[in-house]
Amino acid sequence: MAERNRFKYFRTNKVGRTSQLDEETAFFERKEEGSPRKIIYRNECPNELKAFEDCMKSTGNNLSACASQNLALGTCGKHFFKVINGMSQPYDYHKGLPK
């Protein structure tokens, strides 16, 4: 695709204007390094997170191409998020859960 400002091109739909182009989908890098969710993944599921991030980098941030890594990360994190949400004390983002 030629370099162009994607937000310059608009088309009108039933609701109003949209910047979505029919030609293809634009993939954007997810910049969430400091988010609580990412910190929990980094503390509790480091191998799955690394595999997912490597896949995203190698596929140009195409989430659908990394579905299996995303599923593994979600499966690993599901248990830990339930534990953390049920804790009486706040989660320590620097130490993680006791091993």
Cα–Cα distance, 20 to 10 (Å, whole number): 7
- What is the per-residue pLDDT for 14? 54
Tokens of 64: 């659908």
Q: Partners of 17 in the beta sheet? A: 12
Percentage of the chain exceeding pLDDT 90: 42
Provide the 8-state DSSP code for 61. Answer: S
Cα–Cα distance, 85 to 99 (Å, whole number): 17
Q: Could you tell me how many residues make up the chain?
A: 99
Residuewise pLDDT in 10s, the chain (99 residues): 455 555 555 555 555 555 555 555 555 566 677 888 899 999 999 999 999 999 999 998 888 899 999 999 999 999 999 999 999 999 998 888 887
